[in-house]
Amino acid sequence: MSAMTIQKALGDGAIVAKRNLIKIKRVPDLLVFSTMSPIMFILLFAYVFGSAIHVPGLSYREFLIPGIFAQTVIFGATITGAGLADDIQKGIIDRFRSLPMSRSAVLVGRTTSDVLNNVLVITIMSLTGLAVGWRIRSSVFEAAGGFLLLLLFAYAISWIMAWVGLIVPTPEVVNNASFMIIFPLTFVANTFVPTNGFPHGLRAIANWNPVSSVTQAARELFGNTSDKFPAPKDWSLQHPVLYTLAWVVLLLAVFIPLSVRQYKRAASR
């Protein structure tokens, strides 16, 4: 692919991303409901379940918030699939085909706009977390790295959702299918409770779950860890940043080509 082609794809993708962000501005309910759910989780776990969950040497709220971040950005990535399915259903993709634009621009714009939406959601969640007692105890650069890693992981997930959105018939099916997969994926992990108490087999699955690694990486980068907490024995949690980045590269390498190929098929229906 030539530099001119890449430049055109990025330029057209920026226009599509702007179009998707304008849609959020005109339909603010999309943003309201995407932020209400994580705020509700923070309040419920912090005030209802927090008193019953003990994390050695660490406030449960500081243990909790990075996990909520991870869950939220992953669920936020499902907007990509629902948005693409909606555009196909309404014939928007057919209109894009008639324009002199790069074919990959729709996917680039869709995934980019959803990352920007996640930035806003994380900002609101961070303020909520600070209000209930969460604190960042690391440097500014480490904290920025934690947020960046969360967004990068969400971006990789959004390409999975893009592929799903292009192969299913309606946004409702995307939402139902993604919920059935992502909900257990984010709960069979260290997002809300330490995995030490899990049954042996389930603990192994949870510790190698990439959601656990991105959560662990965020905790370390935010300084939400303690020497009193048992050190992880699995390589995935001993090197959570590296393991998470490996998953990001793998997901992008697999699902970007799959999504582009499926988009060409969907656009030619």
Distance CA 178, CA 198 (A): 25
pLDDT at res. 7: 63
Inside any domain, residue 100: yes
pLDDT score recorded for residue 57: 81
Percent of all residues in the chain with a pLDDT value above 90, rounded to a whole number = 33
139 falls within a domain? yes
The tally of domains found in the chain comes to 1
The more confidently predicted of residues 130 and 12 is 130
Residues 6 or more apart in contact with residue 118 via CB below 8 angstroms: 72, 73, 76, 77, 151, 154
Question: For the residues 52-74, what does the mean pLDDT come to?
Answer: 87
Q: Please provide the size of the chain in residues.
A: 269
Of 16-25, 146-155, 256-265, which has the strongest mean pLDDT?
Answer: 146-155
- 249 conformational bin, left if phi > 0, alpha if psi -120 to 50, beta if neither: alpha
* pLDDT score for 193: 87
Tell me, yes or no, whether 86 lies in a domain.
yes
In a domain, 5, yes or no: no
Q: What are the pLDDT digits (tens) for 198-238?
A: 888 899 999 999 999 999 999 999 999 888 887 788 999 99
**% of the chain at pLDDT higher than 70:** 83
Question: What is the model's pLDDT at position 168?
Answer: 81
Distance CA 36, CA 100 (A): 39
CA distance 95 to 173: 23
Which of the four pLDDT bands, split at 50, 70 and 90, describes residue 8?
A: low
124 CB burial (10 A radius; 0-12, 13-18, 19+): middle
Q: Is the pLDDT of residue 269 over 60?
A: no
- In the predicted structure, residue 119 carries a pLDDT above the cut 90: no
Residues 244-266 have a mean pLDDT of 90
Residue with token string 């890693």? 149
Q: Give the residue numbers spanning the domain of 68.
A: 10-267
Whole-number average pLDDT of the chain: 83
What is the dihedral sign for C-alpha 179, 180, 182, 183?
positive
DSSP state of 138: S
**Mean pLDDT value of segment 70-95:** 80
Averaged pLDDT, 66-74: 91
Amino acid at 103: R
The pLDDT of residue 153: 95
Pairwise CA distance, residues 130 & 136, whole Å: 9
49, part of any domain: yes
CA distance 32 to 227: 38
Q: What is the pTM of this model?
A: 0.87
Residue 2 in any domain: the answer is no
Query: For residue 240, what pLDDT is reported?
Result: 96
pLDDT, mean of residues 264-268: 67
